[in-house]
Chain A
Amino acid sequence: MTDLKTQLSEDFILRNPLLTASGTYGYGNEITDLVDPELYGGIVTKSISLNPRIGNPPPRIAEVTSGMLNSIGLANVGVAQFLAEKEEFLANYRGKVIVNVVGSDEDEYLQVIRKLESRQWISAYEINVSCPNVRQGGIAFGQDAQILGRLVQKLRNETGKFLIIKLTPNVTDIRIMALAAQKNGADALSLINTVYGSAIDINTRRPKISTVIGGFSGPAIKPIAIAQILKTYKEVDIPIIGIGGISDGADVIEFLLAGARAVQIGTANFYNPGVCIEILDFIDKYCMEKKINCLQDLIGQAEV
């Protein structure tokens, strides 16, 4: 058996490198009848804000070639209801629980974290500074290195937990954001969040999603993610969690080779409830065939 463990820090070790991407697996217990959460190394929750958010008006999604557009708008139950309803399940989960946190200003991010900090079952926060679908917050923090740096510093002062910053590809140079996060105390980076995208119905002449421009995800964005990871991997010392269009085991291997220490499965959770088990099967066969004893040995081994 190949050792699938992946180490993101001295004490942050995943049993395997597969995580659910935020917003594609609910809060963790909604589809356990179809997808066993214990197959994953960890769960990244839906983005949690201080108060409930209903999200954007419909239509919120559209199918485009090899991908999808979404403009959900961070619909979530808010931190209080999240704890009241999901704590029991998540506290008993054997993988790592990573809570994705969003805010419309610095203070909201900090307030959410203060409400979560005492929970031992939360291993890490993933900070969403990259949602393209809300006017305030989200991406506003991820497109300006100074604003991002200040937010990361304040979060760092607030928490002893593993701190992951989720970056947007919708910037001129993602390395500047990555370095700002690293310099101010981030433990890891997730990249990439969705890419700006839009589509127009040629019969009605209306945009296919209500916010006109939304987040583009799915297999079509994988080369964008690979490029951003290759670039960032050379510049930073902290681990990278790769996201962007992963749909099978071969994609996971590719992300590891590019420099990701772990990966997140996003859109594929929607269109293939069997994706995690298929990936694990593939990795097992691939490692046997290539005589790889330890999956971690692949990280950053692309010959570029």
Chain B
Amino acid sequence: MRYFKDTTVLNNQMICTDVYLLEFAFPEISNSVEPGQFINIYFPGKTQLFPRPFSIAGVDGEKIKILYKKVGCLTEIMSQWQSGQNIRVLGALGNQFDIRNQQSVLIAGGIGLAPLLFLNARLEKLNYPIINFIGALSGNQLPLFNSMSGKTIIATDDGSQGYCGNVVDCFRQKLDSISRPFSVYACGPDAMLSALWRLAREHKFDLQLSLEKIMACGLGICQGCAIPHAKPADHPLRLVCQDGPVFNANELELS
């Protein structure tokens, strides 16, 4: 079910440089929402029209948590929200990660960590090993990874913490040492997802990717977030908001 409603900010705090954790009450969905799904946040004013989609980073009772990075005018406004602020939200939207009963590898690039935090919490309840690869520009931009279950490997572009380099290269180096079978769940910038997609094809592992595209509605109506399908003859285009945001790598063509 999808709900469009006004709610109240319960907590909004900076976790590390420009990254914030926002919590608000959304009891209509908090029990049923699944890792991979997202919500829209609406903004008053007619200058920037589109609602902004955010992956759900976790739930706690009736609360929904989202993790966001301050990158533009609207996230700047969000960063100033105090407890008690009224906000307008819509959710839960989109599909979910297809959780497989085997070892899990989570690969996050930057703020792409958000849906994987929720997934990690869900995977904890299954008794399979979890390995988290967390990539960031720098060591001061690594939010909340301490709370994650399983083994965590850090990669920073500037080498200030963990592996020096991007998270896909870091994962590639460890790939042979990870016992098969395993499933990879990933979210991050387009270039990272493309690199992983190529790697999965080369090394034949199960891969699910959570994508982000500009959306005017998030409801499947505007058709603005269409992406090509790997087999265009069978499925001409997919909508990230409705058919995704999580896709199996073999549904996509990212080369």
Contacts and interface: CB of A to CB of B under 8 A. Distances in A.
Interface of A: 24-26, 30-31, 33-34, 54-55, 57-63, 65-68, 70, 72, 75, 218-219, 247, 267, 269-274
B226 A55 contact: yes
A67 B2 contact: no
B46 interface: yes
B50 A75 contact: no
A203 B103 CA distance: 40
Contacts of B2: 33-34
Interface string B1-16: 1101000000000000
Contacts of B90: 34, 273
A75 B223 contact: yes
A65 B217 CA distance: 17
B236 A54 contact: yes
Contact of B221 (A58, A65, A270): A270
B214 A61 contact: yes
Interface in B203-255: 213-217, 219-228, 236-237
Q: Which of A25, A60, A66, A219 has the most CB of B within 10 A?
A: A60
Given A34-B4, A55-B223, A61-B224, A68 B46 contact: no
Contact of B51 (A25, A66, A271): A271
Nearest to B236: A54
List the 10 closest A-B pairs by CB distance, nearest first.
A61-B224, A54-B236, A270-B217, A270-B216, A271-B49, A219-B46, A273-B4, A60-B224, A270-B222, A72-B223
Given A63-B214, A274-B4, A30 B220 contact: yes
A303 B224 CA distance: 40
A60 B223 contact: yes
B247 to A, nearest CB: 14
Nearest to B45: A66
A66 B237 contact: no
A66 B43 CA distance: 13
A294 to B, nearest CB: 30
B4 A57 contact: no
Given A57-B228, A273-B4, A26 B237 contact: no
Interface residues of B, number: 28
B49 A33 contact: no
Given A34-B90, A62-B214, A270-B49, 9 more contacts: A26-B220, A33-B2, A34-B2, A58-B228, A59-B224, A218-B46, A247-B46, A271-B216, A272-B42
A66 B226 CA distance: 23
Contact of B226 (A58, A63, A271, A274): A58
A26 B213 CA distance: 20
Contacts of B50: 63, 68, 270-271
B47 A30 contact: no
7 contacts: A60-B225, A61-B225, A63-B48, A65-B47, A65-B48, A68-B50, A271-B216
A215 B166 CA distance: 39
Contacts of B4: 34, 273-274
A224 to B, nearest CB: 15
B157 to A, nearest CB: 19
Nearest to B44: A272
A59 B42 contact: no
